[in-house]
């Protein structure tokens, strides 16, 4: 973790009938390396049938089989978060005729989460075996982000105050109260992805065919050696503050 301030400040004196106001403007930046504590993978399953009910039933069967496979691998059902179910008509078009509905596609999305990174290969392998429509990359993130943000904000505020005090001492002036403060946008890679660049070949937004091709059809994720290590993600904040000087 680190905290510091940019070498930026100014002394401002404004004219007019009121006594001039003298200020120091300071910019402070703090950064904290955050360790992810949870991972998730997103899947979609879909089926196409002539009737909506049949398409729904076929998709539900795929999802049910997938969840049972996960439970057999030690992933509890409570770690499976269901997203949405969508029904869309499929049309055929003939010359000089309006589109005609011939089938319906039912699509369901779900996300599997885990705090045990050792289970990730089994989760992805279960997804591939269930023949999903799409399979996302593994996303790593921190579930304690609000607490981490509080810590970084405290670090940035301390850095701002220390810098302002140092400048005041150097200019032989007395530091007054803070009269304004603004918080810049947070800078962070909120999620870290485990995709092709990390070696497994699970592409974000890719389809199952691409996944199988990337890993080699016979190379199941659980057979691959080496632990999955997501590393850390920097969380950074900048604060601008204006102090009175006397």
Confidence at residue 59, expressed as pLDDT on a 0 to 100 scale:
96
pTM over the 0.75 mark: no
Confidence at residue 97, expressed as pLDDT on a 0 to 100 scale:
85
| Helices and strands, number each (H, E), in the chain | 4, 12
**Integer Cα distance of 43 and 132 in angstroms:** 7
Reduced to 3 states, what is the DSSP secondary structure of residue 54? helix
Confidence at residue 238, expressed as pLDDT on a 0 to 100 scale:
94
**Integer Cα distance of 35 and 233 in angstroms:** 7
> In order along the chain (246 residues), what is the average pLDDT of each group of 10 residues?
50 51 91 92 96 96 94 91 95 89 96 93 88 90 92 95 94 94 77 41 34 39 53 90 93
Structure tokens at 73: 């691998």
**How many other C-beta atoms can be found within 10 angstroms of the C-beta atom of residue 69?**
17
Q: How far is CA 101 from the centre of its chain?
A: 38
């Amino acid at each position: 973790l680190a905290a510091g301030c940019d070498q930026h400040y100014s002394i401002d004196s404004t004219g007019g009938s009121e006594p001039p106001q003298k200020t120091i403007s300071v910019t402070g930046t703090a950064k904290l390396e955050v360790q992810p504590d949870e991972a998730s993978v997103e899947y979609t399953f879909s089926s196409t049938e002539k009737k909506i009910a049949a398409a729904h039933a076929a998709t539900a069967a795929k999802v049910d089989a997938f969840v049972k496979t996960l439970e057999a691998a030690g992933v509890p059902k409570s770690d499976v978060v269901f997203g949405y179910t969508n029904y869309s008509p499929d049309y055929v078009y003939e010359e000089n005729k309006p589109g005609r509905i011939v089938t319906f596609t039912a699509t369901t999305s779900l996300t599997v989460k885990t705090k045990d990174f050792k289970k990730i290969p089994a989760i992805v392998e279960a997804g591939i075996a269930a023949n999903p429509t799409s399979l996302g990359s593994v996303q790593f993130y921190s579930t304690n982000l609000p607490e981490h943000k509080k810590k970084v904000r405290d670090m940035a505020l301390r850095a701002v105050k220390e810098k302002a005090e140092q400048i005041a001492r150097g200019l032989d002036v007395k530091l007054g109260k803070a009269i304004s403060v603004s918080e810049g946008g947070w800078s962070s890679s909120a999620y870290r992805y485990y995709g092709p660049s990390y070696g497994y070949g699970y592409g974000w937004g890719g389809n199952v065919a691409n996944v199988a091709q990337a890993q080699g059809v016979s190379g199941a994720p659980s057979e691959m050696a080496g632990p999955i290590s997501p590393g850390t993600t920097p969380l950074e904040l900048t604060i601008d503050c204006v102090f009175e000087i006397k």
